[in-house]
Amino acid sequence: MTIVDTFGRAIASGWGSTDTGQAWTAEGGSAADYAVAGAGRHLEAEVGGATRRTLLDVAAADVDVYWSVSIPQVSAGVAAQAGLMVREDGTNANLYIFRILFLEDATLEARISKRLAGVETTILNPPGTQGTYTGGTPVHVRSLAIGSRLAMKVWTTGDEPGAWQLDVSDTSLPAAGRIGLRSDIPAGWTGAMPLAFDFGRLQVGTPLRVSRLSSADSADEVEWVTV
């Protein structure tokens, strides 16, 4: 399976379909909270309220995903959060999520978590941060779920790093499920509202993986290679 979305279309309400034809489903908030105009946008208008989620109704367990996200300002009061969900069960109750936290000091934190029966716990949250950001900075993320292995890397400039920054094993959720993007603002946010999360590109392969990306790569130039 190969999925690519460069978000080159213009849609005022909802996300439509990916470049490769898979339909996006929006969950949380209202239809007006989702739009596409050079990026797939989640508009968060509630602090500590409903998350915004856009999902692809594909059954996949082993995935290798590149995605990118930006917010228009440095977080204030509490960290804004974006994430990639995999093996989501269709109810938002059971899933793995690769999270990016936009910290208030303009640094980035990466975290791998799981949600079981609606209760989320952190699997891996390494010490330190994964680079810095400014308002509008695209944060590039590669997330891997193969069998029990969950891995993640994050970068904002230059080429993709060679090493996985987060790499852990967990056997809680082996079954195939949906893939999706998620955003939320926890209670305590004091920045401008509403807050836009712009997702700039998505590429999914299973059971393949996407080769390392250079800073000059575009979505249709990436080579797919077997694991």
Amino acid 209: pLDDT: 46
Residues 182 and 202: their CA atoms lie apart, in Å, by 13
Within-domain flag for 38: yes
Cα angle 95, 96, 99; round to 5: 130
Amino acid 50: pLDDT: 78
Instruction: Give me the number of domains the chain comprises.
Output: 1
Within-domain flag for 108: yes
Residue type, 212: R
Displacement of CA 114 from its chain's centroid (Å): 14
Amino acid 47: pLDDT: 86
Within-domain flag for 46: yes
HSE toward the beta carbon, residue 209, CA cutoff 13 A: 13
Give the pLDDT confidence of 174-204 residue by residue, as tens digits: 999 999 999 999 999 999 999 999 999 999 9
Q: Please give the structure tokens belonging to residue 54.
A: 């856009």
Within-domain flag for 220: no
Q: Which residues of the chain have pLDDT under 50?
A: 207-211, 218-227
CATH classification at residue 167: 2.60.120.560
Residue type, 111: R
Domain span at 135? 2-213
Burial tier of 95 (Cβ tally within 10 Å: 0-12, 13-18, 19+):
buried
- Cis peptide before 194, with omega less than 30 degrees from 0? yes
Residue type, 70: S
Within-domain flag for 218: no
Amino acid 221: pLDDT: 42
The answer to whether residues 185 and 78 touch, using CB atoms and an 8 Å cutoff, is yes
Residue type, 44: E
Amino acid 207: pLDDT: 46
Within-domain flag for 226: no
Does pTM surpass 0.75? yes
Amino acid 215: pLDDT: 52
Within-domain flag for 219: no
Taking CA atoms, 25 is separated from 94, 125, 182, 197, 206, in Å, by 17, 29, 12, 17, 20
Within-domain flag for 47: yes
Amino acid 127: pLDDT: 85
